[in-house]
Amino acid sequence: MNQNTQLTGEWKTDERPVPKPRKRKRLDSEGRWGILLISPYLIHLIVFVAFTSIASLYISFTDYDMLNPPEWTGLANYSKMIDDPLFWKALKNTLYFTILLVPIKTALALVLAVALNQKLKGLKLYRIAHFIPVISSWTVIAYVADSIFNPRFGWANSLLVSLGLEPKNWLADEQLVIPVLVAVAIWKGVGYMMVLFLAGLQNVPGDLYEAAEIDGAGPLQKFWRITVPLISGTTFLVLILSTISSFQSFEQIYVMTAGAVDGVAGGPNNASLVLMLHLYREGFTFFHMGYASAIAWVLFLILFVFTFMQMRLQKRWVHYD
């Protein structure tokens, strides 16, 4: 069983022949043990997944401040959202952040993985270097990034000044805040994605490249004609997972933009307000639980439609063999 078939969504199966459906009404001993052993997860599923999902859908149709009982208001929260300029700003910022982040990070991760797959010496050392940002909390990353992007003592401005350019305000600049956040997110996350691609690459059979070389293919041709199609399963998965997670970005923006200008995360002037941050403010700062739940459902639906469409579209570009 290699990594690649797992990546395509096939997993190991129980090899035993499936017993014919038993007509006994009572559970046999094995069945009872099975239910008993999975019972923690059943509780998780029923209380913390099924119940919470239904509850949040219900709350999204109510006015609920957690002190008084929820009051049914129908679609009021959703129509409020349509008229809420901050919601639209947050949606726009989230899209901008995601569209900038996901393709660049994916491309860089792929290039690095291909480079790392050339049987280089010191592979472990390179992997460690690329994984240190991955294992760091966003708090650590925020202070480390501060040594580069702080307008006062950061090295980015020293570099600009030494080149005779104007220093920038970076995270305190409405135009620059999202690009800087994206740069830092790439820096933190590219190593993780690189490892995923590396696993995919190790399953590409070497004889394919040899055959292509005999046919006179150059390195670029080999990359586009062999590597890219053969790891498209990994690419598909990586794109979906990283889109879902960057659409729900919260920690990075909460940590890195707090106090950048006015002490309120999402600044300056809401230029880095993303949907999760809007949800957090509405829910946990103002206790507008109904409205926050409505935002959660809209976010969920966007991601659901995106994932569903990708699943349908994957046949066009994802090669499984």
> What part of residues 289-318 is at the interface with another protein (CB under 8 A)?
289, 292-293, 296-297, 299-300, 303-304, 307
* Residue of 20, 166, 263, 321 that binds another protein (CB under 8 A): 263
Nearest CB to another protein, comparing residues 56 and 314: 56
Q: Does 237 bind another protein (CB under 8 A)?
A: yes
Minimum CB distance to another protein, residue 33 (Å): 4
DSSP element (H, E) containing 256: helix 251-257
Site residue total, another protein (CB under 8 A): 109
Q: Is 214 helix (H, G, I), strand (E, B) or coil?
A: helix
* Residue of 129, 211, 305, 313 that binds another protein (CB under 8 A): 129
Q: Does 264 bind another protein (CB under 8 A)?
A: no
Q: Does 136 bind another protein (CB under 8 A)?
A: yes
Q: Does 253 bind another protein (CB under 8 A)?
A: no
Q: Cβ–Cβ contacts within 10 Å for residue 243, how many?
A: 20
* Residue that the structure tokens 């690189």 belong to: 194
Q: Does 147 bind another protein (CB under 8 A)?
A: yes
Q: Does 250 bind another protein (CB under 8 A)?
A: yes
* Residue that the structure tokens 């008993």 belong to: 36
* C-beta separation of 275 from 91 below 8 A: yes
Q: Does 102 bind another protein (CB under 8 A)?
A: no
* C-beta separation of 102 from 187 below 8 A: no
Half-sphere exposure of 96 (CA within 13 A, CB side): 18
Nearest CB to another protein, comparing residues 21 and 74: 21
Nearest CB to another protein, comparing residues 271 and 294: 294
Q: Is 62 helix (H, G, I), strand (E, B) or coil?
A: strand
Q: Does 159 bind another protein (CB under 8 A)?
A: no
Measured between alpha carbons, how far is 135 from 308 in angstroms, rounded to an integer? 31
* Residue of 76, 95, 104, 134 that binds another protein (CB under 8 A): 134
Measured between alpha carbons, how far is 55 from 47 in angstroms, rounded to an integer? 10
DSSP element (H, E) containing 112: helix 85-116
Beta strands in the chain (DSSP E): 62-63, 71-72
Nearest CB to another protein, comparing residues 1 and 214: 1
> What part of residues 3-62 is at the interface with another protein (CB under 8 A)?
3, 6-7, 11-14, 19, 27, 30-38, 40-41, 43-45, 47-49, 51-53, 55-57, 59
Q: Does 165 bind another protein (CB under 8 A)?
A: no
Task: Indicate the DSSP class of residue 284.
Answer: I
